């Protein structure tokens, strides 16, 4: 009996002295605020661009037209670029007027960053764009939108 108690105590000590298994998941780096890491595929890009410009989901007929154009040509970047240009030239797209853009440059820049990049501009970015709009009064709203929509950051979510 004493021997079995000693065996149990010894076994308990032996088990409790075993090292605990620790699993290493590696070093995790949190994303910086606004950092986008997932590349949109081209059809996602065109659908999101449509939604950003027209403020509604892309209708099935328009989506099918974009998809058909996309699969029918070998130069995919050209197709995506032409789709963006066509959307910006559409009479149905509602964009700020030239007067509104030049009359409230800072607000236009902030709104454009939020609309396309889903974030506020840094103070440097804001100052840059306000100076560009001041120095280039012939720059159209469609041109600025095109620059944002074809930027590297806009291609990611």
pLDDT in tens, 15-39: 555 555 555 555 545 455 556 788 8
Same structural domain for residues 70 and 60? yes
In a 13 Å sphere around the CA of 83, the CA atoms on its Cβ side amount to 29
**pLDDT at res. 28:** 47
Same structural domain for residues 90 and 100? no
**Phi-psi map region of 55: left, alpha, beta (phi>0 left; psi -120 to 50 alpha):** left
Split at pLDDT 50, 70, 90, the class of 9 is very low
> CB neighbours of 146 closer than 8 A, spacing ≥ 6?
84, 85, 88
**Per-residue model confidence as pLDDT tens digits over 56-104:** 999 999 999 999 989 998 889 999 999 999 999 999 999 999 999 999 9
Tell me if 65 is assigned to some domain: yes
**Per-residue model confidence as pLDDT tens digits over 116-153:** 999 999 999 999 999 999 999 999 999 999 999 999 99
Tell me if 155 is assigned to some domain: no
Same structural domain for residues 49 and 85? yes
Tell me if 61 is assigned to some domain: yes
Same structural domain for residues 71 and 115? no
Same structural domain for residues 90 and 50? yes
Tell me if 156 is assigned to some domain: no
Tell me if 31 is assigned to some domain: no
**pLDDT at res. 12:** 52
Tell me if 87 is assigned to some domain: yes
Same structural domain for residues 68 and 116? no
Compute the distance between CA of residue 2 and CA of residue 110 in angstroms, rounded to an integer: 81
Tell me if 107 is assigned to some domain: yes
Tell me if 5 is assigned to some domain: no
Same structural domain for residues 83 and 106? no
Domain holding 62, by residue range, is 37-94
Number of domains in the chain: 2
Give 111 or 9, the one with higher predicted confidence.
111
Same structural domain for residues 83 and 128? no
Same structural domain for residues 69 and 103? no
Is there a contact between 58 and 47 (Cβ–Cβ < 8 Å)? yes
């Amino acid at each position: 009996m004493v021997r079995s108690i000693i065996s149990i105590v010894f076994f308990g000590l032996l088990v409790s002295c075993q090292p605990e298994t620790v699993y290493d998941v590696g070093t995790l780096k949190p994303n910086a605020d606004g950092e986008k890491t997932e590349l949109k595929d081209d059809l996602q890009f065109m659908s999101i661009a449509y939604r950003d410009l027209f403020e509604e989901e892309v209708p099935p007929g328009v989506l099918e037209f974009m998809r058909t154009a996309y699969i029918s040509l070998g130069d995919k970047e050209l197709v995506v670029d032409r789709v963006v240009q066509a959307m910006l030239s559409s009479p149905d797209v509602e964009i700020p007027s030239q007067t509104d853009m030049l009359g409230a440059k800072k607000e236009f820049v902030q709104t454009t960053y939020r609309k396309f990049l889903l974030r506020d501009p840094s103070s440097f970015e804001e100052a840059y764009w306000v100076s560009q709009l001041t120095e280039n009064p012939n720059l159209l709203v469609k041109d600025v939108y095109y620059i944002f929509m074809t930027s590297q950051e806009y291609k990611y979510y």
